Structures are given as C-alpha cells and as structure tokens.
Structure 1
Amino acid sequence: MDFAGCGQRTVGAANDFAVRSPTKENMMNPFTDRLRLMHIDLHCPEFWAEALTKFDVHEMLALLEGAGANAAGFPAVCSYGNAYYPTRIGHPHRGLSGDPLGEFIEGSHKRRIKVYGYINAVLNYNAGRENPDWTMKDSAGNPIYVGRIPPVPGLFLCPNSPYRDEYFYPILREIIAGYPVDGMFLDRGSISAFGEGFLCYCRYCREGFRAEFGVDPPVSAAEPFWREFVGWRQGVVGEFLFGARRVIRGIRPDAAVIFNGGFDVLLEPTAEPGRLPDMMHFDCGTHPLVLGLRARYWSGFGVPYMVHITRWHDYWQDWGTLKSADCLSQEASVLLAGGGIPSLADHPYPDGSLSPAVYETAKMVFDFVREREAYCVGTESVPHLAVLRSAATYGAALARAGDPKALSQSIRPGEIEGNTEVVFHHTKTVQGAHKCLAQAGVHFDLLNEKFLLPRIADYGIVLLPNQAALDRDTVDALLGYVRAGGSIVATGVTSLMDASGQSLGNFALAEAFGVGYRGRSCYPNGFLDLRSLQLAEGLPNLLVGVKKVFSEVELCGAEELARLIVPPNAPSPARFFHSGVPPQKDSGFPAVTLNRYGKGIAVYVAAPVFADYWDTNFPDLRRLIKNMLRLAAGGRLPLELDGPSQVEATVRQSGGRTLVHLVNNYEEPRLSGPRAVETVLPVHGISFSLQLREKPTRVTIIPGGQDVAWDWQQSEINIRIEKLAIHSIIVVE
C-alpha cells in the first residue's frame, strides 16, 4: 500500500485493513445523532494512597443525566494500563472495587445514554514495565516514554511486537465480549507519518524492516530508505489499528470504532476513501480556528467525527479552572456548523471526586446544542470552493524535512536539479488558507486529492495554496477541470515538483497558469502593484506588502493583474534600513496573473500569500485574496457575506433544505496567555447573499424558528440578520 509516496508496505493484502467508507453502516453508527457527548477522562496512577477513594459511579451518572448528556465515554483501560473493570488479562486498578465499567454502562443505558469504552492503543505503563521487550525504542535502543522523559509512567508499546497479539487484541475481546458498549475509543489511534511514539527501532521493527528491504532502518531523512521506513511504519500501525477494528466488529458488528488522532489535516497524508475508521476524533486544542480547520477537512470524508472541547481554561487538567458556558458553546458551534460532534471533556480529581459546577456549565452548553441539533445531524457541505491540501506535498516535504516540527517552518529540500527550492511553511500555508477564507466569510471545503478528484466537477473554484508537489493524476485532473470551465487560484510554487518532491523546472500546471517559472526572487519580501480595478476593489491606493519570497515568472499568454515591486537592493549586512525594507524598483515580473485556458480561468499569485496571512493577519491581504477569488468566480462568490471577520459561515444541506451556519468567533483582547472568552459579544446587522438554483418558499432562523425577511434577485437570495449571538442557522426551504 502506498502512503502518499512515503514508501510501500507490502506485507499482507492492502484491503485487509480497509473500511468501505463512506457507507450507511458508517454514517449511522450509534453516535451519529448524539451531539451532547461527555467524555470522562480518567487516568489515575496507583502511587497515591487516596487514588479513586471518592470515586462514585452513581454520582457521575446523576450528574450526566442532570446535564442532559445523551452520550458518554468511560475508561475501560487508562493510559497507565489500569483497568476499570475486573480484568483477567490486564491490571485492575487497585484503588477500585466492583465493576465500575459495567455499572457505568448499565446506568447510562437506563438513562438512554450511549457509551463508548476508552483504551489507549499504544500507551500502557504496566504492560511495558512487565514486558520491556514490547516497548518502543529510539534509535539508541532506549524505551520511549511520553514526552521522552523517564520515569514518567507512560511507556509506548510497539504494535509490531507481541504486545498486539498477547495483550491488546485479547483485552479488546475481553471488553467487547463482556460489556454492551456502543463503541470503543482507541486513543493514539493515529497512522501519523511522525509524532511522539511513531517511529520505532525495537528488535521487531529492525528485523521486520530488514527482512523486507534488506537494510537496517535509517535514523534520519538524510539516509537511504528513509521514505520506505516511514511508509513501512505507517503500514505496521495501519494494520494494527484496523486489525483492532476487525476484532471489535467481529464480536459486536454494530459498535463504532473511534480512532483518536487519526487522519489529521496537519499530521497525516494517508486519508483516502475506503481506508477510514467508523468515526474520527482528534485532540487539537479548542480555538475556533483550530477546530474549524479539522471540521472543514473531516467533513469531506463522509464518516462521523468528533473533537474534544475541554472544560479547562488552558487545555487538559488545568485544575481549578472552568471555561464559561459562552466559550464552550462557541467551540461547540464551530463543530456543529461543520457537521461534527462536540465532545465536552472532564477529568475527575485523582481521588475520583467530581466538580458539580462543571456539570452545571455542561447543562447550559447541552441546552444550547439541543436547540440546534435537529439541523446539524445528517447534513453535508454544499460544494462552492475546494481548497486542496495535497498529500503529495505533505509527503514530499516531510520526507525531506525528517523532523515533523520543520513542517511549520521553511523546509529546504536541498539542491534539486541545480535549484534550491523551498516548500514554504507547509502547515502555515494550509492553516493560513483556512484562517483567511474563514475570516473573509467564504464558504469552502478542505480536501486532499483522493477526496477532491472524484467530485472536482462539483466545485466552481479549486484553490491551490502553495501545493508544491502534485502527482500526475492530480495535474491531469486539474488541467481537464479548467479546460471544461472550472476555475483555479494558485499561489507560490504550486505544481513545481512531482509527487516525489523532485523539481520539474517549470510548473506542471504552466499551460493553465499561462506563466513559466524562472526562479526564486533574491529578496526576502515583495510588494504588489495592483493594475486591475477589480483586484484593487476596496483596498487603499497603496502597494500591498507580502513578507515572503516571491517566485519570478514570465508571461506565456496570461494577463498581468499586478506587478512585483522589490526592495532597492538585495539583503546584505552592509546594507539595511532603519525600519524595514521598503519598495523601490520594478522587478519586471508579474505578481498576479489571469489566464483563460479552455473554457476556464486560472488566477496565479507568485507568493505564498496564505503563509504570510497566517503570520501577519494583514486585513488588506485578506481582501486582496477575496478579490482574486471573485475574479475566478466571474464576479461574485456563491456566498457573499457582509460582516466582521469574526463571523464564520458554512453552507450545508439536508433533506432539500439549505442551512447557512453563522458562528461568532469573538474573543476578548489579550497580549499573552491562553485564549479567554467570558462573554461572546453579539454582532449586529449581518447581511449575506446566496446563489440558489430555485427561488425558496420560506426562510427561518434557528434557534427559535421565526421567519426571516428576504428578497430574491437574479438567482440570489438576500438576507439580513439583525443580531448574531453565538451561532445561528438560517434555514432556506
């Protein structure tokens, strides 16, 4: 199996761990319509004498019922390896008696609360301590701990070792056969190309890789067979996780299997139809932009997903803190607007006691969700604009970077065919595109090649934000799409490399762009002299600065819309200016171009503007990018929102209804520390227009269900919302 060009895994049949998705089986799992979910995170070590002495399952159930939860997660085995039921295979927590897991499931089902059991797929201190041979090892042969700091009681277990068949699969069978869980939550369920606890040099991995490739596994990206090793490990982990799914579904076919951490937009290149779990989950922080990024990406997979919104002020176990109901409702709204399930997470104190105040706040949040949930289940995104997050670009960048942390910086792959190319800020450009479009009020989907290409004709515009490496199938599909009448907007070095990361010398999409690549500018920044009235609409009569390196391109049929202006001299220690590097001279190269190719349009900008927006938050750059999108759309976007940048819009559909979600991402000003939202201040007077195929008959607003005034002009509905508190859904029928 090929994991985005990162190597081949040939052991076993590829379809051995394939899930045929999306399917009705996956979409209608037990949690699809359970949007008031409480995750009980309970990881408690045994070294403290008072551990879990105040733990009361019945109190927990009463608090959940009072809060209005309709789904919950409860630990079967925690990350220390302590079981919360009388296991015969694992290690029961010595601070507990009876059967807490069984009591929790029975009590929850009586209250019509669905339950998934929690287990960590690769973290288990007890099993690792008792079986050192099972632990993952670094290249020096040392066990890998959480945070890589022993003696933290968190050891990583290798799924390529006997741990899989002698412990993990058997304990899954014990749980599933013994308890009527509605699903299993596999923590660390990630087929990530990197990350803590991914690469392993234990003897089983060394022997397995050597048997397949004839060499020892490399320890850095500079060594031969690095891509093969990354791909091989992905195959090992993938077989382990989907093997666990087979174990669970073999005993309980209707149980949902949830991978935590799998197929994240910033971490993994492997997501594709037919290779997805029943349900996805990720712990990704709780800023609306972070949540929204995952919602936009996962929404296109066709399987349910959920994300923890933790009750603490500063992420997990920030004891003594509790977010406001407004803050948690805002975070939940971002997920609801993206078709996802918000999972409100709590952790009892180490002695097992709970904080009733948490569940009082949870009730306010769940009441908020209850008012909207009927319009959030079973919806799908309306295809307007697709943003390509290229798995090939990710794979090429990662294979050359070696260190995943470098993906948030500039990655220099080295000398490639005589040129040093840069894959600019790979994660920044994806996050920057999301942030820019969300704050511009643009509705869009974020997709990789495997999900985009089968339905590319559904979209009016495809955005390519500095996606340097594209495979041949993607290039051909994009060229055909534009020839047939589609529009693309591309930035920076998009399509300058093949799928392996080798420079092509020119853009693979050059005939669509109508420009040819000449090289990289020697200047660290540049300025756009706008020469198109439509491009300059709403902008001050100034040059637009971009603090990133431009590509130098020559016109090959395209129309120039903006010229690249550069500083007076190349940077040098002997030459500097007191306050930044000013614009000075005409470079002779275009900065923004428009080309008509076949029946379609290609707009190209010669800089990684989305990475720059991620860094600078420059409003004029966001307005300029929106103008480029309007050019590609032929004048107006399908959704035109007139409101402040804190208002994010998504357009979804279900049962013949169009649902416009408006989310107010307000936050209090701050200069340091975690994000803080005490009260979400409302926004007044928001207007939008939406292109529709047919004139609607009724428009209402949720919550409340009141009719909304609207007018219809030239296939567009125009609506004004007088007040947006946190989250409103405009229902167009």
Structure 2
Amino acid sequence: MPTSWYDTSFRKLFFDFHSAGAAVGLAARFDAERWAERVQEANAQAVSVFTKCGFGYSFYQKGTVRYQHPHLPAGLDMLEAQITALHKRGLRALGYYHTFNSEPIARDHPNWIERDADGKPRGLSICLLSPLLVEWMLPHVEEIVTNYAVDALFFDGTYAHSPCHCAACQTRFAEASGGLAVPKDKQDPAWPRFVAWKLAALQEVRQSVCDTIHRHRPEVVVAVNWAYTPRMPEVVPAGLGALVADIHPDDQVFEGSYLSSYWALLERPFDVMNAAFLQWWGDWGCKPALAMQQEVAPVLAHGGLTWVGYQMTHEFDVAPAVMGELGKTLAFVREREPLLVGAESVPHVAVLHSTEANHPQEEVAFFVNEGSARGAHRLLTESMIPHHLVHEQTLRERLPEFGAVFLPDQRYLQPELVPALAEWVEAGGVLVATALTGTLDDDHRDTGRFALEGLLGIRYEGVYDQSHAYFEVTDTRLTPGTLDMPHLAEAKFAFARPVAEDVECLARLRKAYLRSDGQSLLRWSPVGEDSGYPAITLRPVGKGWAAYFAGDPFRAYQAKNQWNLKHVVANLLRLTLPDPPVEVEAPAWLEVVVRRQSAASAPDGGERLLVHLVNQHGDRPVDGNYRCTEQIVPVQGVVVRLRSEARPSRVTLEPAGAVPEWEHERGVTTVHVPAVDIHTVVAVAA
C-alpha cells in the first residue's frame, strides 16, 4: 500500500530552467497562476520548481545564502509564486537543485572548484568534498526547506563521477589512505583505493543532505539523479525517498525498461525520466506523444512512475504544442493508474548485479561496466522471460521467491550468499553462473578457485588469454532456434574442469584460431581447436540444477548481437524450469512483466494477477540517430498461458476492460490476445 503521496504521483513534468548570468529578459513571460493551470491541463499531478540552476543561481527572495540571478525582476519570488499556485490546485512542487556547476561559486570561492591533475580549475565544476558542503551548500538547502513549502527535493550531480585534485580532496584522501596522493590516472596503483574512498565520501555527502532536510521537514521526499542505478549499484539508504534518473536519449524505451527492471524490487517509488526532446536537454524539438507513450509503458509495467522532461525558455514559457503532446502522454498514464495502485512485482528470474561491481573489473571505475547487466536484460526480455536485476541484499532477502538466478561474471560473491545459494538449489532453484563468477576474495584478489566449486561440480583452472572464443553446443536440447555451427562470443572465458561425476557437458569450449605470430586471423578469428574444457555444464543438485557457462553469454550478446546465445540461454532455462508461472507466444517478442494487485486495490474487490505486455517495436531511425517512434507495429495473435489450479473468476484486457477468448484446462489458463499496440495488461482475477 502507498506510504506517501509520492507513491501515487504517477504523472509528473520536469522543465529545465538553467539560466546563465548573461541571460537577459529572464522570466519576462512568468505568470505563476497561468503556468499552474497549464500544468493541470496537461494532466500532471506534480511539476518541477527550480531552487538552484545549473549556473548556480536561484530565483527567490527569502534568505541570504543563495546567489540570486542577476536578471531576476526586482521583487519577484518565482519559487514562492509557483508553489502557491500549484498547491492551490492540489499539485505538488518538486524542487530541483543542481550540484555540478556554479558561476558565482567559481568567482567568489575558486578553492571550491574542482581541479584537474595539473591543478587547473575544471571550468565551473564545484567540488562537493571541499568546504563548500558545510560552509555553503547545506546552509543553502536548509534555507530552502525552511522558507519554502517544496514537497520534494531532487538533486542533480550528487555522486562520484571524476577525480578531483583540489586542496581539500588531496588532504582528505591523504588522511584516509595514510599519505597517498590523489592518482593522476587509472594506471596509478592507488587508483582502486581512491575510487572506493570517493564513492564512500559521496555517500556521506548524500546522507548529510538528507539529514539536513529531514531535521527540519521529515516529510520532504529526497531523490538524487542517477544514484543507485545499475551504473552505481549501491544499497539505497533510509533517508532517500525516491529513485530518479533522466535516462540517456538513444533508446528511451529500452533504457526505461532496463532501469525499471533493477529498481522494481528496491522498495522505493521510482521515476524514469524520459524527455520530449528529439535529442536531449537543450534541444527545442519535440517527439510525438506516441513515442513518449511507448517510452513510459515499460516503466509503468514494472510499477514505476513517470516524470517527463522538457526545456523552459529563459522567458519562462513552453510552446502550447509541446504541452499538448505532454498532456497526451500523461493521459495514457492516467488511463492505466487503476492497474498500478496496490500492485507488486512477482519474482521469477533474478540477475545479480553486484554492489561490488565497481571494484573487481579489469579497470576500476566510478561507474560500473554494465555490459553483462544490459545484455541479460536484452536477452531475457527478447525471450519473453519475466525477470529482475537485483543486488545482493535483495537477492538474499527474496531468494526463496525466485525460480532461477543468473550470476553473470559476478567475480565477487559475498561469503554469506554462497551457502544460501547452495541451500536454495537443493530445494529446487536453478542457478546459472558464468565466466569468473566467485573467483575473488574480500580484497578483490584472485583466489584461484570458484567459490561455488562444490555446487557447480567444476574446478577453476585458469583463463583463456584471447578476447573471444566459441561455444560449440553438443546437446540438442539447447539447439532449437540456433544455427548448426560454433558460436563466437566476445567475452572473458574461464577453463573449468568437471570434478563431480554427475556433471553433464552441454557444449564444448573451442579456442579461436591464431596465426603463427600469435595474432587473430583478422579482427576476430574463426573457430580453432578444442580447448579440452566444456563451455556449458549442467548438474542436478537435490531438487534443483546448477549450470555454468565458461564465457558470459549476456556480455557477448550485448557486445556483438550474438543472437544464437539468446536461444541457448532460453533453451537451458526451459529445460531446467519446464513449468514457468507465465508463458507467452507471439509472432514478435513482447516485454512480459508479471505483477499482483491486492484485493483492496482491485476494482472488483478480489486479488488479480496482471500480465503486462509491452510492445517495443516500431519504426526506428536508420542513420544512427536517436529513437523517435512515429508508428507502432502491433503484435497480433498473442497467446498467454498462466498456471493456476483454480479457474479464474474473470479475465479482461486492460485498460480497455475487453473480455478476450480464454479457457482453463488442467491447471493452465490460456488467454488469446488479438493484438498489442503499445501496452496491454491481461488481468486475471482469482
């Protein structure tokens, strides 16, 4: 059930109002009352209000900490006027606070500006680890929440993203590391330690911000752009009220789906902020509403909220045509809200995306390499297999609810997770580990063994030294849908020898051909000799199964579209999980998301299972430009099968409420869905 107003704030709009000090004519068209009316007419429940823009300026009168924009009309308090007008209409005011840059800070406090390795200022970029935080930023935040009735505060840029060589960072890192200097590049031996230190330091910054706000106003919802996403997979702290990211513009349908699959089980309301721009922020074009509806559909399917972004002119205006398309998008959301209230995700397949992923890579970085996570989401989505990306805490807490768990090259496994997985497999779970999973210790050093050796029944004997190798599938149960040939995979491969008698070899690991000089034939090489090791193994353990891929098929699929591996993985899952709770057949793939709605929230007062079908197909640019769908290609003749002993009392297709052709026989309910345009939900009432 909802715990705050934010949980049901399904329809939000965001408008950038970044205004350089040289922006004249500022707010010339500002009319708070009319603006609030326009927001309401666009079907929004909440909208952004700027408390500090990307150039470091604020647009309000109260207080003394802020830097007021030099061209703000005399006496005008834009923040107060907007909040008052919005609240009068029952709309929420979502404060925006930028922490990347500041013109006035760079002018007045150059020692608070980030520095590069040569000690030169990095433009207007402010350092949150300098005295700025305590001496200026926290007092500024306090000034805002004590003087203005913002309902939420959304911080942009408040995470570790680059090294800084300012005096404060040099001093603080030296104190924390026993005298080490901030590394000048990633080749410095101190780089991994520095990354870990800065990630932790920014966690403390975010906590300080939350504490400052909630000391005065505990009801304010705090969110941080891009924090706690798959590129920064940290455990969400208690003070953070919502998760938000303004997703990248190349394909906002996929990006929204991917991010939502990770956030859906983190027990926070979450916004995937797509944008109306044809490109991204600062572009004055506008997508058609159809494109934005397709972008928000997977977010809604996973239980997320919508927050659509656009750009305000310096005069404080948005073209009526743009507002019209935004209004159509939010009307699409409003129509589906009865399916969202009181619904929760139904776990089926988990993909571990470790909170330690920053550290055990070949190249330690502030943002993790998401190749395996993205590849897993693509592969499973296109196989119409419901799934969630999860970190260790979620996996440990909800492990019994999952039928299968993938560990895609998760090189560090928390010690307590290993026995938990073994016990879960014994009880009937399906575990699939890949590549070098479980080969690092707590200090991220190679142990020379698999932590899951006893469960998988294989022994780690080294790493193949080439960038690619081949899966040669020998078990015909894994070959349906694939070509009869070895499958190239660009990924790290491990040599793993079976040591348990009950281990089956389902595929051989073939090396890549090398010339006499030890190089690939061309950029890649054709298939070479057998390595002497399996590429895929399978072992029965108790009531469950433990499988192993010597190379990570998810990374290989993401890197080179190795579609054969998609079918191999799906076939393995069908072999080991032959009776999934939901199966979908369609002439083209649909994203399948399963949720359960409580009886208290369902319209007829009975619990119902909701099978979301999301159509990601449509016309796409062929020149490498960003996706902007103008026409949807409907997927027709869809069949959904659900396993349930009891016959459902009612089956409908939502949000239209149509009654489809369906039957229940031998514990299986079969529903025939004529067509899926963008988003259709099969609602099955108990």
TM-score when scaled to structure 2? 0.92
Deviation at 1:33, TM superposition (A): 0.6
Pair 1:627 & 2:627 matched = no
Deviation at 1:121, TM superposition (A): 3.2
Please give the alpha-carbon distance, in whole angstroms, between the structure 2 residues aligned to 1:79 and 1:529: 53
Question: Is the 1:515–1:554 Cα contact (8 Å) retained in structure 2?
Answer: yes
Question: Is the 2:173–2:182 Cα contact (8 Å) retained in structure 1?
Answer: no
Residue in 2 that maps onto 1:281: 244
Q: Which of 277, 280, 294 is residue 259 of structure 2 equivalent to?
A: 294
Deviations 1:136-181 (A, max 9, x none): 3333322233xxxxxxxxx232333332233222222222122221
- Alignment CA distance shift 1:45-1:512 (3 Å): same
- Alignment CA distance shift 1:436-1:571 (3 Å): farther
Q: Which of 277, 281, 291 is residue 312 of structure 1 equivalent to?
A: 277
Deviation at 1:395, TM superposition (A): 2.2
Residue in 1 that maps onto 2:133: 164
Q: Which of 157, 176, 179 is residue 145 of structure 2 equivalent to?
A: 176
- Alignment CA distance shift 1:62-1:95 (3 Å): farther
Residue in 2 that maps onto 1:413: none
Unaligned 5+ segments in structure 1 are 1-23, 146-154, 408-425
Deviation at 1:276, TM superposition (A): 5.8
Residue in 1 that maps onto 2:43: 68
Please give the alpha-carbon distance, in whole angstroms, between the structure 1 residues aligned to 2:523 and 2:499: 37
Please give the alpha-carbon distance, in whole angstroms, between the structure 2 residues aligned to 1:521 and 1:445: 30
Deviations 1:392-427 (A, max 9, x none): 243222xx524557x5xxxxxxxxxxxxxxxxxx42
Please give the alpha-carbon distance, in whole angstroms, between the structure 2 residues aligned to 1:652 and 1:572: 56
- Alignment CA distance shift 1:713-1:588 (3 Å): farther
Question: Is the 2:93–2:151 Cα contact (8 Å) retained in structure 1?
Answer: yes
Residue in 1 that maps onto 2:642: 690
Please give the alpha-carbon distance, in whole angstroms, between the structure 2 residues aligned to 1:67 and 1:449: 40
Residue in 2 that maps onto 1:658: 609
Q: Aligned letter for 1:86?
A: Q
Deviations 1:324-383 (A, max 9, x none): 111100111111111111111111123333211111101111111111012123422101
Please give the alpha-carbon distance, in whole angstroms, between the structure 1 residues aligned to 2:175 and 2:327: 56
SS at 1:32's partner residue?
helix
Residue in 2 that maps onto 1:7: none
Question: Is the 1:488–1:632 Cα contact (8 Å) retained in structure 2?
Answer: no
Counting only pairs closer than 5 Å after superposition, residues 487-526 of structure 1 correspond to structure 2 as 487-522=430-465, 524-526=467-469
Question: Is the 1:201–1:217 Cα contact (8 Å) retained in structure 2?
Answer: no
Please give the alpha-carbon distance, in whole angstroms, between the structure 2 residues aligned to 1:230 and 1:137: 16
- Alignment CA distance shift 1:395-1:378 (3 Å): farther
Residue in 1 that maps onto 2:423: 480
Pair 1:361 & 2:332 matched = no
Question: Is the 2:55–2:103 Cα contact (8 Å) retained in structure 1?
Answer: yes
Q: Which of 669, 683, 686 is residue 731 of structure 1 equivalent to?
A: 683
Deviations 1:190-231 (A, max 9, x none): 3x4xx24xx333222322333343303331454455444333
Deviation at 1:82, TM superposition (A): 1.2
Residue in 1 that maps onto 2:601: none
Deviations 1:286-339 (A, max 9, x none): 4222111110111111011112111101121122x1111111001111111111
Residue in 2 that maps onto 1:93: 69
Deviations 1:517-547 (A, max 9, x none): 2223355433333332321234344433334
TM-score when scaled to structure 1? 0.86
SS at 2:508's partner residue?
strand
Please give the alpha-carbon distance, in whole angstroms, between the structure 1 residues aligned to 2:419 and 2:238: 24
Residue in 1 that maps onto 2:541: 597
Taking only the aligned residue pairs, the percentage that are identical comes to: 28
Deviations 1:246-294 (A, max 9, x none): 222222222111111211101x24225x456111111222422211111
- Alignment CA distance shift 1:81-1:522 (3 Å): closer
Residue in 1 that maps onto 2:363: 401
> Is 361-370 or 244-253 further displaced after alignment?
244-253
Deviation at 1:58, TM superposition (A): 3.5
Q: Aligned letter for 1:133?
A: N
Q: Which of 656, 662, 667 is residue 715 of structure 1 equivalent to?
A: 667
Question: Is the 1:393–1:499 Cα contact (8 Å) retained in structure 2?
Answer: no
Deviation at 1:678, TM superposition (A): 0.9
Pair 1:448 & 2:413 matched = no
Q: Aligned letter for 1:718?
A: T
Residue in 2 that maps onto 1:14: none
Residue in 2 that maps onto 1:84: 59
Residue in 1 that maps onto 2:85: 107
Residue in 2 that maps onto 1:16: none
SS at 2:559's partner residue?
helix
SS at 2:6's partner residue?
coil
Deviation at 1:449, TM superposition (A): 0.7
Q: Which of 177, 188, 203 is residue 167 of structure 2 equivalent to?
A: 203
Please give the alpha-carbon distance, in whole angstroms, between the structure 2 residues aligned to 1:390 and 1:174: 38
Residue in 2 that maps onto 1:126: 104
Q: Aligned letter for 1:687?
A: V
- Alignment CA distance shift 1:169-1:524 (3 Å): closer
Q: Which of 255, 270, 285 is residue 234 of structure 2 equivalent to?
A: 270
Question: Is the 1:217–1:229 Cα contact (8 Å) retained in structure 2?
Answer: no
Question: Is the 2:450–2:460 Cα contact (8 Å) retained in structure 1?
Answer: yes
Deviations 1:44-81 (A, max 9, x none): 11213334333333342232122111111110221211
Question: Is the 2:468–2:524 Cα contact (8 Å) retained in structure 1?
Answer: no
Deviation at 1:716, TM superposition (A): 3.0
Deviation at 1:391, TM superposition (A): 2.1
SS at 1:433's partner residue?
helix
Q: Aligned letter for 1:622?
A: K
Residue in 2 that maps onto 1:677: 629
Q: Aligned letter for 1:49?
A: V
Q: Which of 29, 45, 48 is residue 20 of structure 2 equivalent to?
A: 45
Residue in 2 that maps onto 1:539: 482
Please, what is the CA RMSD of the aligned residues? Answer: 2.4
Question: Is the 1:324–1:679 Cα contact (8 Å) retained in structure 2?
Answer: no
SS at 2:477's partner residue?
coil
Deviation at 1:442, TM superposition (A): 0.8
Counting only pairs closer than 5 Å after superposition, residues 9-48 of structure 1 correspond to structure 2 as 28-48=3-23
Q: Aligned letter for 1:302?
A: E
Please give the alpha-carbon distance, in whole angstroms, between the structure 1 residues aligned to 2:219 and 2:584: 42
- Alignment CA distance shift 1:523-1:126 (3 Å): closer
Question: Is the 1:441–1:645 Cα contact (8 Å) retained in structure 2?
Answer: no
> Is 466-475 or 378-387 further displaced after alignment?
466-475
Question: Is the 1:393–1:501 Cα contact (8 Å) retained in structure 2?
Answer: no
Question: Is the 2:511–2:531 Cα contact (8 Å) retained in structure 1?
Answer: yes
Deviation at 1:646, TM superposition (A): 4.6
- Alignment CA distance shift 1:579-1:503 (3 Å): closer
Please give the alpha-carbon distance, in whole angstroms, between the structure 2 residues aligned to 1:536 and 1:511: 28
Residue in 2 that maps onto 1:151: none
Q: Aligned letter for 2:624?
A: S
Deviation at 1:645, TM superposition (A): 5.1
How many residue pairs get matched?
Answer: 668
> Is 525-534 or 248-257 further displaced after alignment?
525-534
SS at 1:210's partner residue?
helix
Please give the alpha-carbon distance, in whole angstroms, between the structure 1 residues aligned to 2:156 and 2:523: 49
Question: Is the 2:94–2:152 Cα contact (8 Å) retained in structure 1?
Answer: yes
Question: Is the 2:608–2:684 Cα contact (8 Å) retained in structure 1?
Answer: yes
> Is 693-702 or 375-384 further displaced after alignment?
693-702
Residue in 2 that maps onto 1:559: 504
Residue in 2 that maps onto 1:337: 301
